[in-house]
Amino acid sequence: MKTFIITSTQQLESIAHTVIGLTLENKVFCLYGNLGAGKTTFVKSVCELLGVEDNISSPTFPIINEYSFSDGKIYHIDLYRLKTEEEARSIGLEEYLFSGEICFIEWPDNFENLLPNNYIKLFIRKLEDDSRVIEIIEH
């Protein structure tokens, strides 16, 4: 487990580099944290470092945003509005997860049974002083 404490969004870059290094062996990253913790901001930081030129935004309403970069695709998936594994399967979640492309999943709590064996958990907690604690755990 790696733990980081950040006090500004500029500090996300070093953590994003750490996560990018993990993409060589892991393609699925599960993001845990309350609303407003910074999950989408973190994904945006990773995408920008990888050279994504698209507008990076929360996939809350479309459920899945797809971004292209020089080495492939990044799928940013938000499962907040889904209630059952059947709903997740109906949107093709497993196809994304096993595509070999990088996947960032927000709100994966109820869908861990569908995840591949190897994935990374990222816990983002907002503290009272607006700093963040980010924990990276390989599963």
Q: What is the mean pLDDT of the chain?
A: 95
Q: Specify the pLDDT at position 88.
A: 96
pLDDT at 59: 85
CA distance 54 to 113: 31
Per-residue pLDDT of 12-54, as tens digits, reads 999 999 999 999 999 999 999 999 999 999 999 999 999 999 8
Mean pLDDT of 84-97: 96
- The CA–CA distances, whole Å, from 28 to 44, 82, 121 equal 16, 18, 9
pLDDT band (50, 70, 90) for residue 61: confident
Distances (CA, A) of 11 to 7, 14, 15, 137: 7, 6, 7, 19
Q: % helix / strand / coil in the chain, to the nearest 5?
A: 30, 30, 40
Question: Is residue 51 left, alpha or beta, with left meaning phi > 0 and alpha meaning psi from -120 to 50?
Answer: left
CATH number at residue 101: 3.40.50.300
The model carries a pTM of 0.94
Residue 109, domain extent: 2-138
Give how many domains the chain has, as a whole number.
1
